[in-house]
């Protein structure tokens, strides 16, 4: 099965970039938030246009790893639009910090707890090797490894799901990051909460009568036992 082709977009690409994409683009990852306070003003427009044109889309957060990963995850989730069939969330981590791994662990834990899905970790191969280390629970790899025939996995990671293989100009769009994703792509599948059982008045009455008969029968049995003891 052929891989899917995609790009990632943010407000840096311009508000209408998503409207000028060629048909060859199968999916778009859009920037949603950054740090503890920035919300990308184009994220909702990109999300709506992807849904309108039948493209897969996912949202990503640009990390400030010197902050609390759990707090940034909650901020991201507050602004993330996501529905069943969308791509799983992603964490873009490019700033060096001694807290990068702990930050990513805390971030992915909050996302998994809230959505029940894994998080894609976006980073270059060298960054993962120096700042992250081996694979993190509830995280998959979106690796940036440009101008190579095939991405080289950092130590401790078994596979990649998305590979960002080059940065180049796209006609009518401008400079973008080009990605390829393994199929089937990692989709988010929400599980709707079970609806409460609705009973009509007649059904409730029938159920109550059944309960009453059961407990009346149980009372008679208990009474007979007591008489037998006497």
Question: In this predicted model, what pLDDT tens digit does every residue of 132-180 receive, in sequence order?
Answer: 999 999 999 999 999 899 999 999 999 999 999 999 999 989 999 999 9
Residue-wise pLDDT tens digits, 205-214: 776 677 567 6
Q: What is the pTM (predicted TM-score) of this model?
A: 0.81
Q: Which of 67, 80, 92, 55 is nearest to 185 (CA)?
A: 55
Residue burial 48-71, b: 16+ Cβ < 10 Å; e: rest? ebbeeeebbbbbbbbbbbeebbbe
Distance CA 217, CA 230 (A): 20
Scanning 80-129, the segments in alpha helix (DSSP H) are 100-115, 125-127
């Amino acid at each position: 099965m052929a891989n899917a082709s995609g790009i990632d977009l943010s407000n840096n690409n311009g508000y209408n970039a998503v409207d000028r994409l060629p048909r060859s683009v199968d999916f778009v990852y859009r920037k949603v938030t950054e740090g503890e306070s920035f919300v990308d003003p184009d994220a909702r427009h990109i999300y709506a246009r992807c849904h309108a044109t039948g493209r897969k889309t996912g949202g990503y957060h640009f990390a400030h790893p010197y902050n609390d990963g759990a707090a940034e995850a909650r901020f991201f989730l507050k602004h993330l639009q996501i529905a069943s069939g969308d791509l799983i969330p992603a964490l873009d981590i490019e700033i060096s910090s001694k807290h990068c791994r702990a930050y990513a662990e805390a971030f992915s834990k909050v996302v998994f707890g809230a959505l029940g899905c894994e998080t894609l970790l976006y980073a270059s191969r060298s960054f993962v090797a120096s700042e992250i280390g081996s694979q993190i629970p509830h995280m998959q790899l979106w690796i940036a490894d440009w101008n190579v025939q095939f991405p080289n996995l950092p130590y401790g990671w078994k596979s990649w799901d998305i590979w960002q293989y080059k940065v180049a100009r796209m006609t009518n769009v401008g400079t973008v990051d080009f990605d390829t994703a393994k199929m089937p792509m990692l989709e988010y599948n929400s599980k709707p909460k079970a609806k409460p059982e609705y009973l009509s008045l007649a059904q409730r009455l029938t159920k109550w009568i059944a309960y009453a008969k059961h407990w009346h029968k149980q009372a008679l049995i208990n009474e007979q036992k007591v008489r037998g003891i006497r």
